[in-house]
Every structure is written in C-alpha cells, then in structure tokens.
Chain A
Amino acid sequence: MNKQYENSVSTQIFQLAKQGKDQIIRSFDLEKLQKAIPKDIVKKSAELS
C-alpha cells in the first residue's frame, strides 16, 4: 500500500534514517565550527540575539 503512495516526504525521511547520523557528526566538528566562527569572536560574544 505504501509503495503506491510514496512521496518526496517519505523518501527524505528514509534518507534521513540512513544519513541523519552523519549529518549530526558533520555538524559536531570542532575544527569545522572554529573555521566557521573564530574562537575570538565567540569569546567576545557573551550573549546571542
């Protein structure tokens, strides 16, 4: 039944089931984060808005 009604939402969610872990790991990368937002900027940024 599902096959006939597969759609781009269900497709993406099954892709997430396979790729979600890697997406989180790619984000939680200190080196990448430091390149994106230099440490000295974050140290000065006491607050977020």
Chain B
Amino acid sequence: MTGCGDSYSAAGAMKKAVLELSGVTECNTPDIIDFCHYYSDQKICLGNEPSEVLVISISFSGSSQRVADALKRANKAGAHALLITGNPNSICGKIAEFIFNVELPEGCNTPGIRSYFASLSALASIGAYIGVVQGYAGKEEFEQTKIDTVQFVEKFFEGIDSINDEMCALAFKWKDLNHFEVIGDGNEGYSAQFIEQKFIECSGAYCVHTTSEEFAHISFFQRNPSGYGMIVLINKKDPSLGRMADTIRGIRCQHRPVLIVTDGEKEIFDMRSNPIDLSRDLYGSVEIGFNSYENAGIVNVINIPTPPKQWMSPFIDFIPGSLLAGYYAAVNEIMFFGGKYDFRMQRWIDR
C-alpha cells in the first residue's frame, strides 16, 4: 500500500487495520519512490505468485505521476493494482486494474483533511472485506467493525468544539515559535507525519516527525530546544508507552512547549512543575519568554476517546494537531501553500 504525501500517511496509518481485519500475514507500505524504482519483482511478491499480490495505490486526485508509476510497476510485476481515488476518470484511473471510489461529497479539501479521512475509511473497509472473502471474519464482524468505527469517531466529535477552542488558544501561545516536532510510534507515527505535512503546507514552518526513541537519540540535541513546539501522540495501550513517558519527561526537562494527544489520564505522565534550572542549561539557550516552558502553558493535554481497537486511533488522533497547524498559520496571517491559498476565502490566489 503506497501513495504520495498524505496518501502515503494514510497507507501507513491503516497498515495495522488491514493486517488485523484481513487476516493476511504480510502487508507492506513502501515509500513510493522505493517501490517504483528500487523494488524488484521478487521483493514485490515476497515469494508469492504475482497473481496473489494486490498493490494498493492512493491518490485522491488521481493525477499523481508517481502513483501512476506505482500502478504500472504493479502491472509489470504481474500483480493486481487497485487505486483508491476520488476521481476514477483520472490518469491513474485509466491505468489501474481496479478502482475504489471514495465518493467524497463536494466541499473544501485544501489541505486534504477530508480526503485523508476518506482514504483511511477506504483502507479499513478493504481490509475488512478481504477478511470476509477469505473466510477470516464473518459478515457480522464486518458490520460490527463499521459500527464500532462510526461510534468511536462520533464520540470524538462530541468534544470537537472544546478541542477547536483549545487549539486556537494554543496557536496564540505558540504563535512565535517557528520549529515544530511531532512524535508518534507505530500507526500513530503516520498520524504524526500527517500533522507535519499540515504544518508545512499551512504555514511553511519547519516541522518534522519522529518516534519516541529517535527523539531521545537525536532530537534531544537540537539547539534552542525551548523554541520547538512539540506534539506527542500516545495511547495508554501503546506498547511504547513507557518510552514515550521518558520522552515527555525529556521534552519537559528541556522546557519545550508540548501538546499531548492521548486517551490516557494525565497522571500517566510526569506533570510536576519543572522550573528552569539555568545551571543545567547545557546549551545556554533556554529563554525566559514567550517560548519558555512556563509561559507556553506547562503541558497541554487533549484527551481523546479510547479506541475499541488500537488500529482505529488514526481516524481521530491527527485532528487536534491539524487544527493547531491551521490556526498557527491563521494567527500569523500566513496564507497556505507558500502564500498561494487563501485560507479564509478558501480559494487559490491568482487562479
């Protein structure tokens, strides 16, 4: 399963879903350039007959050249090629053997939030469908998965007004920061990647995503750490919860402003006051100002509902960070996409 940009994030975010719902034993999400240019037929097929392999490429517009290349690459390897798209009559649609039309209703889709959600839904449903056809699950389980997913998403949206207000308020607190880092492990790592994409698309801010382990290994050494706005995605059942708690402690010790998106209670994390100790300021760069730990609002926590299944988390955990990305650009009066998209009028400038 592959795609470009946020379509690739959707593939990664739903890998766990596809594996659990379909019962298949192997599901990979290669980077699309690797898949198109570095994957041999053997690597695509992993010892299976080509006709036993399904390559799923995602492009909402259907106009991505690289997705077209991935579909061609699948055809060349003799594998089946499925396109998930909102535009079946597109270039990619003409190449694909099979098409799943996400049927997104008319409306704003810049940057692609709704299409991302549609891709997540499509992938989960395809996983569940494969499970039914291959006898791994029954039709009743298919229906129950649909109901559980809907209920989980609706429960989250019950609190969207409050989350929206909090993210707008946080954007004001973080207005003058210009570095951001999003941390997530497992399938939440792809939600982190999606948020990174939205920060860059909306405001052009420097933003990266990483994992709890890589933060401890690498990001900890960033210069002026208190100038980084940190967003952490972690659920209480995540196997890496302990390491993420360490990471959050490290973030706090470096006086980084932090937003934690979690279904866990605040008590899981060390929320004690952590006054700046200049004698331990290794980099000599902790600032007592807008971006200091204290003024940035200690630790900001957004509580999300606990997913009935861990694979469902990506349906909602990208939303608070994406709102923050949009509001950060808006409060700084930065037009999206390098000044080319008017976020208020919701139209491209000079088009």
Contacts and interface: CB of A to CB of B under 8 A. Distances in A.
B114 A19 contact: yes
Contact of B133 (A20, A21, A23, A42): A42
A7 B201 CA distance: 13
A48 B105 contact: no
Interface range for B = 35 or more
Given A5-B330, A47-B46, A49-B55, A27 B160 contact: no
Contacts of A43: 133-134
Interface string B304-339: 000000000000000100110111011100001000
Contact of B54 (A6, A20, A48): A48
A30 B129 contact: yes
Given A47-B52, A48-B26, A49-B54, A8 B153 contact: no
B270 interface: no
Interface range for A = 35 or more
Contacts of B99: 36
A39 to B, nearest CB: 5
A contact face: mostly helix, strand, loop, or mixed = helix
B130 A42 contact: yes
Contacts of A2: 164-165, 168
Interface in B1-60: 1, 18, 22, 24-28, 44-46, 48, 51-56
Contact of B98 (A6, A21, A41, A47): A41
Interface string A5-20: 1111111111111011
Nearest to B198: A9
Given A12-B107, A16-B157, A46-B52, A27 B26 contact: no
Given A23-B118, A45-B54, A28 B142 contact: yes
Contact of A9 (B27, B54, B80, B322): B322
B341 interface: yes
Interface stretch (B144-152, B208-216, B260-268): B144-152
B114 A30 contact: no
A8 B157 contact: no
A18 B140 CA distance: 26
Contact of A15 (B44, B108, B336): B108
B113 A20 contact: no
A28 B134 contact: no
Top-5 shortest CB links A-B: A9-B326, A28-B146, A7-B343, A27-B125, A12-B113
22 contacts: A2-B164, A7-B343, A8-B111, A8-B341, A8-B346, A9-B202, A9-B326, A14-B160, A14-B164, A15-B108, A16-B113, A20-B157, A21-B150, A26-B102, A28-B146, A29-B125, A33-B126, A37-B82, A45-B24, A45-B130, A49-B28, A49-B54
Interface of A: 1-2, 5-17, 19-30, 33-34, 36-39, 41-49
